Amino acid sequence: MADIAKLNIINSSRIIRQIWQFPGISRIEIAEQLKLDRSTITKIMKNLDEKGWVNSIKKTSREVVGRKPVGLTVNTDIGLVLGIEVKTESCCAVLTDINGSIVYSDTFFFEPDKESISDIIHKICTSLRETATEMNKRILMVGVGIPGIVDPFSGTVIMSNPMKINTPEKLASSLQKRLGIPVLIENDANCCCWAELIHRKESDENNFLSIMGEFRSTDLYGLREPGIAVGVGMVINGEVYYGENFTAGEFRSVDWKPGLITQFSVTNKLTSNIKEKPEALKMVFTELAKNIALIINICNFNKIVIAGDFVDYKEEVQSSLSKAVAANWVYSNLEEKKIIVNFSPFGQNAIAFGAACHTLARIFSIPQLGKETLLRGTILLDHLTNGNTEL
């Protein structure tokens, strides 16, 4: 009996994920794509309708003759998701609907020496709860993107030099208790991966790298110098790759040498006010491309997503990456290696949006048939819509 109940939860999660991923899909199409019989679809859809999670729409295609099929969408009245990017002196925050569309965004500034991360996020959440109430909606869940080494499954920040976290801190659980809302934590560069996965959730491009590049002009807490910071995220078969001890994506150029204050071989003198020095920027982009080309060609990725301040240098970044990937490609005499370079369309909100997308990915993921350690899928959706405050 327990197995039948679990199988029903899995199929419910598969169906609502399919509706979420392909808005307007019909019941017949769901049955065909998921290889489920229509009686199973009918039974599960009745439950989803009763919970108010799904809306029906009439398809208007002129190609349809006779009775028009009914399309299905996820009901955006379910609630909102809050995504927050924690930076050294400010936070970007976005509210998205359940489908991943941004409905509100704002930037919050703070004094890092006087306010803790918990205080800052509490202040943001309080403000945006009022905004959500004005929309006659409530915030279901909070996603936080933070620089450093993060275990997103336990909600632990293992280490973050920029945020002065030197020993593991269970940030998600402490925030949940304070906010009264379930919270997920993720590395900021990995948030860029989640943003791409959810923004293009109908796409079958499930293997790519994301590169987050930021210019930093403050030496917060004396732990770092002004310059450039780069983080890398990897998606393999549609899953964000974390590596051993969640350190995948921590970047340092192979040309870096001790004593240099950035992740590159650029001299400390050139690093100062680097945005004003085109020759230094070109050196950085060329060196970054050389490092990334090695990963791209070894893993045979065909797409890179650029987010952060590097989006403002599209021509330079794309040119450097394309040249480096082609030059590093082993089989250049047989075929030309090409790479798709996408630039995040979300500007300064890219990581905050990705943090929100990380929570949406959990809500619309599919539980495992065996022992499940994480709330996900329709179990999590039930949990959230019933007002439960912890994961």
Closest among 305, 309, 289 to 297, alpha carbons compared: 289
Distance of CA 332 to the CA centre of its chain: 34
Three-state DSSP at 88 gives: coil
Q: Are residues 103 and 70 in the same domain?
A: no
Domain count, the chain: 3
Q: Are residues 22 and 139 in the same domain?
A: no
Query: Is residue 390 situated within a structural domain?
Result: no
What's the one-letter identity of residue 33? Q
Same domain for 133 and 233, yes or no, is no
Residues 106 and 15 in one domain: no
Please indicate, yes or no, whether residues 211 and 343 belong to a single structural domain of this protein: yes
pLDDT tens over the chain, length 391 residues:
457 788 899 999 999 999 999 999 999 999 999 999 989 999 999 999 999 999 998 766 555 555 667 899 999 999 999 999 998 788 999 999 999 999 999 999 887 678 888 999 999 999 999 999 999 999 999 999 999 999 999 999 999 987 888 999 999 999 999 999 999 999 999 999 999 999 988 888 889 999 999 887 544 444 445 578 899 999 999 999 999 999 999 999 999 999 888 899 988 888 877 888 899 999 999 999 999 999 999 999 999 999 999 999 999 999 999 999 999 998 877 777 889 999 999 999 999 999 999 999 999 999 987 776 778 999 999 999 987 777 7
What is the residue whose two structure tokens read 């007002």?
387
- Beta bridge pairs of residue 58: 70
Rounded to whole angstroms, the Cα distance separating 91 from 112 reads 11
Tokens 């909102």 locate to 80
Whether residue 199 lies inside any domain: the answer is no
138 and 105 both lie in a single domain: yes
Does 140 share its domain with 270?
A: no
Instruction: Identify whether 245 is part of a domain.
Output: yes
Q: Is residue 197 part of a domain?
A: no
| Residues 45 and 85 grouped into a single domain | no
Q: Would 180 be classed as within a structural domain?
A: yes
156 and 221 both lie in a single domain: no
Q: Contact, 13 vs 365, CB < 8 A?
A: yes
Is residue 229 located within the same domain as residue 326? yes
Enumerate the H helices of 237-376 as residue ranges.
268-271, 278-299, 314-328, 350-363
Determine the structural domain holding residue 317 and report its residue range: 204-348
CATH number at residue 239: 3.30.420.40
**Residues 330 and 370 reside in one and the same domain:** no
pTM of the model: 0.91
Q: How far apart are CA 251 and CA 292, in angstroms?
A: 10
Co-location of 212 and 313 in the same domain: yes
Last residue of a domain, one of 33, 59, 74: 74
- Kindly state whether residue 196 falls inside one of the protein's structural domains: no
The answer to whether residue 29 is domain-embedded is yes
Query: Is residue 232 domain-resident?
Result: yes
Q: What is the CATH number of the domain that holds 66?
A: 1.10.10.10
